[in-house]
Structure 1
Amino acid sequence: MYNTVEILGSAREAAWLPWAVQYFFLIGTSAAAFFLTLPGLVFGRARWSRVSRQALLVALVCGLTAPVALLSDLHQPGRFLNFYLHPNLRSWMAWGSFFIPLYVAGLLLYAWLCLRPQLAALARAERGVRLAAVYRALAYGGHDNRAAVRLAAVVTALGAVLILLYTGVEVMVIQARALWNTPLVPPLLAATAFAGALGMTALFAAAMRQFDTAPLLTRWIAGSQWLVLALLAAWLASGVAGWSSAAAEVLDAVNGSAGWAMTFAWLVGSSLLTLWLASRSPRRLLLAAVLALHGAWAFRWILFMGGQAIPKMGAAFRTYALTATPDGLLGIVGTAGLFLAIYIGLTSFIQWDEPAGSEGASS
């Protein structure tokens, strides 16, 4: 007697490509970095002055690069305009099209208000007539209006919270992907966003040789890794104990997969290594920064690209292969190039290694 076993597999191209990974990484890092600007630039805490200035630079560079990655993922501007022409207010993705302009506009206003005194000082110090005129026009009097800074900070904080909320929930609500359909996705994205923001801020500080900020930054990097590890442990426990049907489905689907076992071990191992370096070697700013950034980006790659590889039905994994195309490796390189160009432009125009007190923040 013969038994027939039929194995079904559904293979389809990934809908969310590396552009999406870049966007979620950059916009999350920007929103989280904005909150790191508040202690030094709004509340006037002297020990945060240098960190907050570097965080403002991170928020600007990532915040200006992220929408370009999003438009590239949509492949044509018309798709983005369709969110406004035909809004579907029951969709979190549609709501995101309103949250992004709110956050970016608020961030630009907030940054301008914080930097006005420095722009005025640069206008007075600049010998070239044309560049001095540009600084003077941008300073618009150069007044240090703390009330305006606080108001802009409130608006931007609202936009940043909405960014962190919508980017997590729009992934969580997709029931067809078991790895995404869990309430722990939004807090995991937010926690790794703060880890990435701290790592990027530390990287910028190291590039400007502000190693005096290392103890503060590494302490916060260590704290972010504890939070990420706790959330990962909670997700794993919810799947093993059966509290989350989606997490249990993922664990069942990847059971016996050496690739997924190595992926999870890599993610946890990199977080543990970052935690160890940040805790035991607080002066090693650069290495801890790079590892924190790696963990934030790797989590999004595993979540989005790996989540689409797990089959909805059947037993066939759909492994994504990174190709040297605009939708693949070239897209990642192009986003990095735009990021670098904005960074060079901003750091060439303004000195970001000045303390926050230069903008009038109290010490």
Structure 2
Amino acid sequence: MYTSVEVLGFAREASWLPWAVQYFFLIGISVAAFSLSLPGLVWRLPEWRGVSRRALLAALVCGLAAPVALLADLHQPGRFLNFYLHPNLGSWMAWGSFFIPLYLLGLGLYAWLCLRPQLAVLAGRGDKLAAAYRVLAYGGHDNPGAIRAAAVLAGIGGVLVMLYTGMEVMVVQARPLWHSPLLPLLFLMTALTGGIGLTSLFEALTGQRAAAPLLNRWLERGQWATLLLLAAWLGLGVSGLSASAADALAAMQASFGWLVTGAWLFASSLLTLWLARSRRDSLLLPALFALHGAWLVRWVVFIGGQNLPKMGSASHAYFLTLTPDSLLGIIGMAGLCLTIYIALTSVIPWDEPAEA
């Protein structure tokens, strides 16, 4: 009697490259930062006034850079155009092609209405850009009603963007690390902590440290929620209540690299929580660790999720290389964000409240 055992292993290159990580990272932070701009710029809460201006700056920087990463991930603009020429309304990715412009249009209109009074003040200073400021200000009136309407438009777009970015990954049943109802919530919470982190970083860069306790309180709450979601996913996998989580854990358990990655994910989340709780007046360290955590979750989900075998027993390791689709692309996107930040802060002061 003969017994045969067949072990299958197919080597596949990653189809979702670091461009996807960067897009999901940037668009999530943009939406989260936009939400942080609402208390000061829409609801006019005094303690949020300065913070919300820096949050709006963060939303613009990431919102303007994110589509570049998305187009790069599609490899050619024509693929994005194809979503409109031949829409597949049964695909979350196709719906995203409509949600993204809605959010960016609303964000641009909202930012312009919020900045219009300050543009009018800048126009009155008589410098070489005065004529441009005057045109952009378009009268310079502060219109709370129009700001609220634009905020509703951007808010609807932002909610839809966060919904589709979570759902288009979650629905992929072939990837056990992706197919979890907790994934959209994890993306949402880490986007919030990342948005707080980038806003805190901009606060530090502009020398505005008074809002550190306020931002760290919200960062602490976001980190608690993130840790609870990670613990819930782990519990579902260990108990077997979630077949996809159990399959992902089974594929990870023999890998020392996955053990280190998972340990660092939990440890860095705990460290961020500790920094937010114990260093209320600190901005830089909590900000950097919050951004690191938001990036790490997306890297583990996208790149790590593709490393796990869809069938058979072979894992597929991904290595960063000096190519535009890998390390050079990451550096290039960081440079683009820095360029947008320099451009926006060069023409508009963000370290002082707008004046009517």
Q: Could you state the TM-score of these two structures normalised by the residue count of structure 2?
A: 0.98
Give the superposition deviation at 1:2: 7.6
Q: Which residue of 2 aligns with 1:19?
A: 19
Contact preservation (8 Å) 2:268, 2:293: yes
Deviation string 1:163-219 (CA, Å, 9 cap, x unpaired) is: 100000000001110100010010000000001000000001101111111111111
Q: Which residue of 1 aligns with 2:41?
A: 41
Q: Which residue of 2 aligns with 1:193?
A: 191
**Counterparts of 2:81 and 2:355, CA distance in 1:** 38
**Counterparts of 1:96 and 1:326, CA distance in 2:** 24
**Counterparts of 1:268 and 1:50, CA distance in 2:** 32
**Counterparts of 2:72 and 2:305, CA distance in 1:** 21
Q: Which residue of 2 aligns with 1:246?
A: 244
Q: Which residue of 2 aligns with 1:83?
A: 83
Give the superposition deviation at 1:18: 0.3
Deviation string 1:96-126 (CA, Å, 9 cap, x unpaired) is: 0000000001000000000000000000013
1:175 paired residue among 173, 176, 193: 173
**Counterparts of 2:187 and 2:127, CA distance in 1:** 47
**Counterparts of 1:265 and 1:52, CA distance in 2:** 34
In structure 2, give the amino acid aligned to 1:87. P
Q: Which residue of 2 aligns with 1:278?
A: 276
Give the superposition deviation at 1:153: 0.4
Contact preservation (8 Å) 2:121, 2:355: no
User: Which stretch has the larger CA shift, 160-169 or 276-285?
Assistant: 276-285
Give the superposition deviation at 1:4: 4.6
Give the superposition deviation at 1:351: 0.5
Contact preservation (8 Å) 1:115, 1:359: no
Q: Which residue of 1 aligns with 2:311?
A: 313
Contact preservation (8 Å) 1:116, 1:359: no
Is 1:323 the counterpart of 2:317 in the alignment?
Answer: no
SS in 2 for 1:143: coil
Give the superposition deviation at 1:5: 3.6
Give the superposition deviation at 1:256: 2.5
Deviation string 1:235-255 (CA, Å, 9 cap, x unpaired) is: 111111111110011111112
Q: Could you state the TM-score of these two structures normalised by the residue count of structure 1?
A: 0.96
**Counterparts of 1:51 and 1:230, CA distance in 2:** 27
Q: Which residue of 1 aligns with 2:209?
A: 211
Runs of 4+ aligned residues of structure 1 deviating over 4 Å after TM superposition are: 1-4
2:182 paired residue among 159, 177, 184: 184
User: Structure 1: where are the runs of 5+ without partners?
Assistant: none
Q: Which residue of 2 aligns with 1:152?
A: 150
The share of aligned pairs that are identical, in percent, is: 65
User: Structure 2: where are the runs of 5+ without partners?
Assistant: none
**Counterparts of 1:225 and 1:126, CA distance in 2:** 47
In structure 2, give the amino acid aligned to 1:109. L
Is 1:65 the counterpart of 2:81 in the alignment?
Answer: no
